[in-house]
């Protein structure tokens, strides 16, 4: 057990070094040698744990996805505590928490957004670099949001004529665009959140009974 834990720690150390380089300089700067230097280990050790650059990129991407998932889980938990500690958050609360957590409004989310942007740039420059692996996290997230929107639709919070899948895809595209505008300096995080809230207010409406769903 101790040996396995040590190996996993080494892999984590190396993968996180790549993520730091991607955040600061882009993945074009993340050669195996540069990753070794950033991690404080030998090139031979990097090559021992990751035989190929693609293997290292995919491992680091999975860890980045886990970091984003952990952040979303914390925001959903906070939404639950804010609404009613004894009950699960509403579909709107979950949708709001997820989309808000993705926006680059603090150091953690800015780092995650910049690093994902580095991966997007890599895929644009070399479409076969990560094959289909780069779409796994976005596809899962879009599917989860679709389920939440469908639940809100069934409870009367969303117009039944709306297509949950198309709406989820549109919301994620909007948030990605807002994130880019924050990183580019067009608007700050607070302004981006205001735009998101505006669109969610338009999407969600009072159920048939007239009781307004309370936001996160």
Encode pLDDT of 137-153 as tens digits. 788 899 999 999 999 99
Question: 93 pLDDT band (50/70/90 cuts)?
Answer: very high
pLDDT for the residue numbered 132: 57
Q: Which has more confidence, 4 or 170?
A: 170
Cα dihedral 52/134/118/10 (nearest 10): -40
| Bridge partners (DSSP) listed for residue 204 | 158
Please tell me whether residue 208 adopts helix, strand or coil conformation.
Answer: coil
Task: Enter the pTM of the model.
Answer: 0.85
Measured from the Cβ of residue 208, the count of other Cβ atoms closer than 10 Å reads 9
Please tell me whether residue 204 adopts helix, strand or coil conformation.
Answer: strand
Structure tokens belonging to residue 23: 């955040």
Instruction: Return d(Cα 142, Cα 85) in angstroms, integer.
Output: 27
Sole residue written with tokens 């976005």 = 138
Is the per-residue pLDDT at 130 higher than 90? no
pLDDT for the residue numbered 47: 96
Mean pLDDT calculated for residue range 84-90: 72
pLDDT for the residue numbered 212: 42
**Residue 130, phi then psi, degrees to nearest 5:** -115, 10
Nearest by Cα to 150 from 169, 163, 137: 163
pLDDT tens column, 12-56: 999 999 999 999 999 999 999 999 999 999 999 999 999 999 999
Instruction: Return d(Cα 116, Cα 125) in angstroms, integer.
Output: 14
* 42 backbone φψ class: left, alpha, beta (φ>0; ψ -120 to 50): beta
Mean pLDDT of the chain: 88
pLDDT for the residue numbered 136: 66
Degrees to nearest 5, angle at CA 103 with 9 and 181: 120
pLDDT for the residue numbered 134: 58
């Amino acid at each position: 057990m101790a040996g396995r834990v040590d190996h996993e720690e080494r892999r984590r150390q190396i993968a996180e070094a790549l993520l730091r380089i991607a955040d600061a300089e882009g993945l074009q700067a993340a050669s195996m040698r540069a990753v070794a230097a950033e991690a404080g280990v030998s090139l031979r050790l990097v090559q021992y744990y990751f035989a190929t650059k693609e293997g290292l990129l995919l491992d680091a991407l999975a860890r980045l996805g886990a970091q984003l998932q952990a952040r979303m889980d914390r925001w959903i938990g906070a939404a639950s505590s804010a609404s009613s500690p004894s009950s699960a958050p509403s579909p709107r609360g979950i949708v709001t928490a997820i989309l808000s957590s993705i926006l680059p409004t603090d150091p953690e989310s800015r780092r995650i957004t910049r690093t994902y942007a580095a991966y997007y740039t890599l895929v644009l420059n070399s479409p076969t670099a990560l094959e289909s692996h780069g779409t796994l996290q976005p596809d899962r997230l879009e599917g989860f949001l679709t389920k939440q929107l469908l639940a809100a639709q069934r409870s009367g919070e969303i117009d039944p004529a709306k297509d949950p899948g198309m709406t989820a895809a549109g919301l994620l595209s909007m948030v990605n665009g807002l994130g880019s505008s924050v990183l580019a300096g067009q608007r700050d995080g607070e302004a981006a959140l205001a735009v998101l809230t505006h669109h969610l207010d338009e999407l969600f409406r009072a159920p048939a009974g007239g009781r307004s769903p309370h936001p996160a």
